[in-house]
Structure 1
């Protein structure tokens, strides 16, 4: 048994100045932004959302700008297998998460647990 809800919306930004993009989305959505503390995440900015709401992450990318979803899970491998059974396919593993592709062609990611309330609040899968 594992649990998995929507973790965050990711705004992929193909532009040279990520702080400017964060400033725009911060103003548009009324959420302050911040840099992430991990140096490996220097290409990301986080908008601060209300507790219990999915996060909003901006990341600098080389592909065209788009928005994608992240699903968090208490068991990444079990969630990836469940999604594969629904027709998704693995595209690439990045650190400890998977980039997936839905049968509709949309890319999304499956991440390890991000929120403390996940064991109580995430959808429970057999």
Structure 2
């Protein structure tokens, strides 16, 4: 048994510094900019509690949007998604990049939001 759910909408912006795109996306989505980012590649856009997390990320590929699925058991969730037809592309820093049968990329990550335990879907492996 493991849990998972949609964790984050990630706005991939081609370049080396997410801060160059953060102001636009914060204003466009009505969110607050991150006060003291730890890493220039990632910028959280803060919204109301309980809403989906939105992250601006600097990437070395063309700009796009992808989803993160958070889980308490990454290998089990990856296996579940592979059974549904997804393909594992690579592992990066503890998360797994996958591709849906439709060609959309997404990541399987550790829990990101504080209410994960109470609100994630339980899967009986």
Could you state the TM-score of these two structures normalised by the residue count of structure 1? 0.91
Q: Which runs of 5+ in 1 are unaligned?
A: none
Q: Find the aligned partners of 1:114 and 1:8 in 2 and give their Cα distance.
A: 8
SS at match of 1:5: strand
CA distance in 2, matches of 1:20, 1:95: 24
1:19 alignment partner in structure 2: 19
| Matched residues, number | 123
Runs of 4+ deviating beyond 6 Å: none
Give 3-state SS (helix, strand or coil) of 2:22's partner: helix
- Unaligned runs of 5+ residues in structure 2 are none
Deviations 1:23-82 (A, max 9, x none): 001111110111533xxx331111002221110001111111000000000111110000
Q: Deviations over 1:81-101 (max 9, x none)?
A: 000000001101001110001
RMSD (CA atoms): 1.3
Secondary structure of the corresponding residue to residue 52 of structure 1:
coil
Quick one: distance in 2 between partners of 1:100 and 1:65?
17
Residue 16 of structure 1, CA deviation: 5.5
Matches within 5 A, 1:1-126: 1-15=1-15, 18-34=18-34, 35-37=36-38, 41-126=39-124
